[in-house]
Structure 1
Amino acid sequence: MQKCIEKRGKVATSCALAAKKLQHPVRMYQNRKTDMIMAGGRYPMKKTYSVGIRNDGKITALDLQILFNAGIYVDISAIMPHNIVCALKKSSMRGPGEVQGSFTAEAIIENVAATLSMDVDSVRSINLHTYKSLLQSFSEYYHGEPYEYTLPSIWSKLAVSSNYDQRNKMVQDGSRSLDKGETDGCVYALGAIQCDGTEGLLDKIWVVQSDTVSLIQGGFTAGSTTSESSCEAVRLSCNVLVKRLKPLKEKLQEEMDSIKWETLILQAYMQAVNLSASSFYVPSNDSSSYLNYGAAVSEVEIDLLNGETRFLQTDIIYDCGQSLNPAVDLGQNTKQILMVWNYKIPTIDTIPKRFTIQILNSGYH
């Protein structure tokens, strides 16, 4: 089935109904043609706006009216407006509404630049948030400290690392796009966890299959919060094990000087130390109230005769705070541009020939 937030429930319910009816195990699958037909389609939106600007390109006012056709029922998001009941439903997958919002912002900025006969990137730059404007726009849980607002430095670093000015001069007769904004990604693997009193044991960790046999109280994965919650539960469980093992470890170290992990666990087992721990972590209401910063620039070649496009180069800089697993974060950033931008299964033609991603890993946000 198409990969979307509510995929498991729909598949499981359909199979359960058929299995109950037939009294026989049921498995659901679809061929590639059907999958390609189903995979695709963001919510159509019609937007009308009036914008107030200064001569230097600074936007001072915006009145934006949005008509949003979300289909026959509301999605999992509580912020979706009332829906139209006579339209086919399109799937909600990875940043619903955010892509349309980015396109809206870019359309307004490019219109402002064209009206003032200014370089569009100058308009983008002058309209970036300052820390002062963050304080006015977001609650205290979001904006953090001044040093945590890294978007201006990301913007400058991206221009240098991507060689933007030189590449821009080579395509003065073509269009260009420099997009920035918050990034949403979903991590399925646990980060490397290291607890006080233990050494790094990543090679001794394996993750069991996610099912109700291993974990009774499971849930859906959404909103870039699952990985953090899972890792916090792992960390709490590790703290329990460390507390149990630490007295034995200190005793063995006095007798043997150094001690291997295998020896410690064997001795703990022989002395009936409980080597199993579980934890259930429920994040607080403000735990997901934070801002991540990133910027990207892409060079795209367009054939004006047939509309074909080729991605020549994409450069991304992303500040994810303190990365739980940099390799996973790199993979998530790679996936987002290949999978989400057009809602279709990616092919070799939709992958940039040159693809550069940099994770700042600046610390806690």
Structure 2
Amino acid sequence: MRKLPRDISRQSGQPVGVAGQSTLHDSAWLHVSGQARYIDDLPEPEGILHAAVGHSEQAHARIKSMDLSAVRAYPGVVAVLTVDDVPGHTDIGPVFPGDPVLAGELVEHIGQPIFAVAATSHTAARKAAKLAKVEYEPLHAVLDTREALEKQFFVRPSHTQQRGDPDAALAGAPHRLKGEINVGGQEHFYLEGQACVALPQEDGGMFVHTSSQHPSEVQKLVAEVLGVPIHAVTTEVRRMGGGFGGKETQAAPVACVAALLANATGRAVKYRLSRPDDMVQTGKRHDFFNTYDIGFDEQGVIQGAEIMVAGRCGYSPDLSNAIVERAMFHSDNAYYLDQARVTGHCCKTHTVSNTAFRGFGGPQGMMVIEQAVDDIARYLQLDPLEVRKRNLYREGRDTTHYGQTITHHVLPELISQLETSSDYQARRAEIRAFNQQSPVLKRGLALTPVKFGISFTAKHLNQAGALVLIYTDGSLQVNHGGTEMGQGLYIKIAQVVAAAFQVDVDKVKVTATRTDKVPNTSPTAASSGSDLNGMAALDACEKIKARLIAFAAAEYGCEQSAVRFENNQLVAGDIRLDWADFIQKAYMNRIALSSSGFYATPNIYYDHAKGQGHPFLYYANGAACSEVVLDTLTGEYRVLRTDILHDAGQSLNPEIDIGQIEGGFVQGMGWLTTEELVYSDQGRLLTTGPATYKIPAVSDTPPDLRVNLLANSPNKEATVFRSKAVGEPPLMLGIAVWSALRDAVASLTDYRYSPPLDTPATPERMLAAVTAARQWALAEQEAVS
């Protein structure tokens, strides 16, 4: 049974663990005891086979010939498939075409699967796959975003959002700055790699255990490659060992390959990618090349803006159209841009197709305006925080460049609170004094905001279903379309159901997500897992409650308004009955004790042709204040302290939310500082494991990390119990670290120069920024003399 927190007491008169209370993650004790099962932990059926694929060794080429005889002859190999062996569809693009399940004549990135192998062991399959003899005709490979821009080489058409006349505003502005930044990509580096098990069924169908954020998409694409109806395929997800967007679309090709091999052999097939294969074969966070042209007045208030964001999408569309669009939506971050034009480009390159990653383009878009605000502050010799506060959305300046009016101005008060609680002003003065007397070590400080839109920008995905069952002993079972990847979605949904009936949360069990229980599910992404699935589960509960209340009123002779659920009991007028006894009574009187629920997010729309609309139900907000110390001789640095204040609305589970905020911040910090993806001149990924790719360790976490939730801030939109999303927004709090590093370098010029600093801000890039700052200072001295 789930262990309940010690700090929650029944003396409160409330049931234990309902929504709004801090309750342990439903799998916490399973994780720490090693009992939580992932795909590779499932009992293996007798005769199971293991899959691997042969990869392209060229970034862009035609396959002239392919000899697989040595592959087939390798001991243990049972089947070898090429694209010609696929019985159904061969293109498994999630939104737009362009993703062959196995490449045919043309290959477009190093690591692209060109054939699949099933063997009696994981090792045999991988070794056999390396024995293929493939002859290529190399073609020119576009590997760089700038080359793609020059050649107008895109996976999807470019898009523009505009308000007013930015050209006139820029021309008439008292001051004007231009800048650019390269924002690096990021590997998901989930603890559990891509994995699945495909089990042929007696009726010609397929059952797939998948580590996927989107089980319905896996179901659909497996059905399509097999050439069978969707109802012939069932997918199940109990939990993932991390996802972060990397398992939204990228899990489907893995499942399709396993299913094709299972279908061909009639035997169960497991496909588990090794870490190097996973990193080479699957997409990552898009790296971006961004530019800005900003006009502003003497106070630093932005009057006009021309912004360009260009994402390196890789060889196929995947989700890039929506990712670049979200970067455009968030290129304002928290600031009113007045007259503005934002243009987005989906650049095609002959590299692996990049995909969803926590923030979904929003973080990359925010980077360009945060750089611009810092640059404005240095230009005007102002504190960057002051410039940020002057440009925040507020009454009268509250419409975004894409036409959505911001109705809830949370950030001004939130930032004011954080400025006070973090002692920002006193520390700013202290750091200036320290830097004046410290020739080598320089400290930096930055306080940056986050405004992040909540909803899928693809309108049809903003829907969810749920199934709630009550058994005769009063226990409840819930199934919904959301998936659990460690973020605590299952326990939050359990808390929502417990709150609906006012019973202890240990009476509620959330079962594995399955496509034969709740169909046509949306991915668990866009920070909407709790919003969508919580409301769907609540809808199912309300339907059951209506039946139970009507029955209780009739049974006990009172008005329905006198019936309520309270602390594991039914109260009907003067009658009090234990919850389990009442449920048994309802069953004996043939009251239906189950219901499906459904929710569709209201009031969202976007006109792509006009670049205007209301794409988000609401905005999540937060802010972080980070202090760093930089060694200007080596480029090495430490984050000393970070203060975070985040708005989770009426939190469903405060401790879970704080954990998400801490993890999101550290992951965002890693993206901007240490996580560098390195490619060869031929487009081969060189950072293929933890020895070469540096994710943040515990030692990288600020030793002084203070995280608080904004008090008394219920969501004004009708979300589940007035909560707000906390999945993606905290990642962008890491921007405070990058901005603080620039602040430390700027101190070398008495804060008069804003150093260029591409991300990730590795020690090498920090040294380059230090050199640029010193050269600028020297040039200034020479000009004066």
TM score, norm. by length of structure 2:
0.42
Distance change (3 Å), C-alpha of 1:249 and 1:177: same
What is the CA–CA distance in structure 2 between the aligned matches of 1:346 and 1:136, rounded to whole Å?
Answer: 34
Structure 2 residue 143 is matched with structure 1 residue 143: no
**Equivalent AA in structure 2 for residue 347 of structure 1:** A
What is the CA–CA distance in structure 2 between the aligned matches of 1:68 and 1:277, rounded to whole Å?
Answer: 44
What is the CA–CA distance in structure 2 between the aligned matches of 1:179 and 1:69, rounded to whole Å?
Answer: 26
- Aligned partner of 1:179 among 448, 451, 456: 448
**Equivalent AA in structure 1 for residue 410 of structure 2:** T
- Aligned twin of 1:279: 597
Cα distance per residue 1:30-75 (max 9 Å; x no partner):
4456557779954333333322121122121222234432221223
- Aligned twin of 2:709: 359
- Aligned twin of 2:421: 161
What is the CA–CA distance in structure 1 between the aligned matches of 2:304 and 2:648, rounded to whole Å?
Answer: 30
- Aligned twin of 1:296: 624
Contact 2:283–2:353 under 8 Å retained in 1: no
Deviation at 1:267, TM superposition (A): 0.9
**Equivalent AA in structure 2 for residue 125 of structure 1:** K
**Equivalent AA in structure 2 for residue 127 of structure 1:** N
Map 1:290-329 onto structure 2 (within 5 A): 290-329=618-657
Contact 1:158–1:295 under 8 Å retained in 2: yes
Cα distance per residue 1:266-290 (max 9 Å; x no partner):
1112222211111232333528432
What is the CA–CA distance in structure 2 between the aligned matches of 1:195 and 1:32, rounded to whole Å?
Answer: 40
Percent identical: 27
Figure out how many residues of one structure are paired with residues of the other and give that number: 361
- Aligned partner of 1:12 among 255, 265, 273: 255
Contact 2:650–2:714 under 8 Å retained in 1: yes
Structure 2 residue 527 is matched with structure 1 residue 224: yes
- Aligned twin of 2:370: 106
What is the CA–CA distance in structure 1 between the aligned matches of 2:276 and 2:697, rounded to whole Å?
Answer: 15
Greater percentage in helix? 1
Distance change (3 Å), C-alpha of 1:118 and 1:206: same
Deviation at 1:84, TM superposition (A): 1.3
Distance change (3 Å), C-alpha of 1:168 and 1:75: farther
Q: Secondary structure at the match of 1:218?
A: coil
Map 1:1-365 onto structure 2 (within 5 A): 1=193, 3=243, 4=246, 5-32=248-275, 42-76=285-319, 78-79=321-322, 80=324, 81-135=345-399, 137=401, 139=403, 142-144=405-407, 148-172=408-432, 173=435, 174-183=443-452, 188-189=489-490, 190-191=492-493, 192-193=495-496, 198-250=501-553, 251-252=555-556, 257-284=575-602, 286=604, 288-343=616-671, 345-360=695-710, 362-365=713-716
What is the CA–CA distance in structure 1 between the aligned matches of 2:320 and 2:290, rounded to whole Å?
Answer: 21
Deviates more, 1:35-44 or 1:344-353: 35-44
Distance change (3 Å), C-alpha of 1:181 and 1:256: closer
**Equivalent AA in structure 1 for residue 664 of structure 2:** Q
Contact 2:286–2:354 under 8 Å retained in 1: yes
Deviation at 1:154, TM superposition (A): 0.5
Contact 1:94–1:340 under 8 Å retained in 2: no
- Aligned twin of 2:111: none
What is the CA–CA distance in structure 1 between the aligned matches of 2:415 and 2:306, rounded to whole Å?
Answer: 27
Distance change (3 Å), C-alpha of 1:29 and 1:303: farther
What is the CA–CA distance in structure 1 between the aligned matches of 2:586 and 2:371, rounded to whole Å?
Answer: 64
Q: Secondary structure at the match of 1:93?
A: coil
Task: Structure 1 unaligned segments of length 5 or more: list them.
Answer: none
Deviation at 1:111, TM superposition (A): 1.4
Contact 2:393–2:409 under 8 Å retained in 1: no
Cα distance per residue 1:274-320 (max 9 Å; x no partner):
11111232333528432222211112233434443333222221223
Distance change (3 Å), C-alpha of 1:309 and 1:16: farther
Cα distance per residue 1:224-262 (max 9 Å; x no partner):
223211111111111111111113434356698311101
**Equivalent AA in structure 2 for residue 73 of structure 1:** S
Cα distance per residue 1:154-187 (max 9 Å; x no partner):
0100011222223333332222222212247887
Deviates more, 1:232-241 or 1:274-283: 274-283
Deviates more, 1:295-304 or 1:50-59: 295-304
What is the CA–CA distance in structure 2 between the aligned matches of 1:40 and 1:302, rounded to whole Å?
Answer: 33
**Equivalent AA in structure 2 for residue 338 of structure 1:** V
Task: Structure 2 unaligned segments of length 5 or more: list them.
Answer: 1-192, 195-242, 325-344, 436-442, 455-486, 557-570, 605-614, 676-694, 717-785
What is the CA–CA distance in structure 1 between the aligned matches of 2:411 and 2:659, rounded to whole Å?
Answer: 21
Q: Secondary structure at the match of 1:96?
A: coil
Contact 2:500–2:541 under 8 Å retained in 1: no
What is the CA–CA distance in structure 2 between the aligned matches of 1:7 and 1:69, rounded to whole Å?
Answer: 17
Contact 1:95–1:184 under 8 Å retained in 2: no
Contact 1:330–1:357 under 8 Å retained in 2: yes
Greater Rg over alpha carbons, structure: 2
What is the CA–CA distance in structure 2 between the aligned matches of 1:217 and 1:302, rounded to whole Å?
Answer: 51
Cα distance per residue 1:310-345 (max 9 Å; x no partner):
332222212233433333332322221122443454
Deviation at 1:357, TM superposition (A): 2.0
Deviation at 1:12, TM superposition (A): 1.7
Cα distance per residue 1:125-155 (max 9 Å; x no partner):
2111112111465656x522xxx31110001
Distance change (3 Å), C-alpha of 1:10 and 1:164: farther
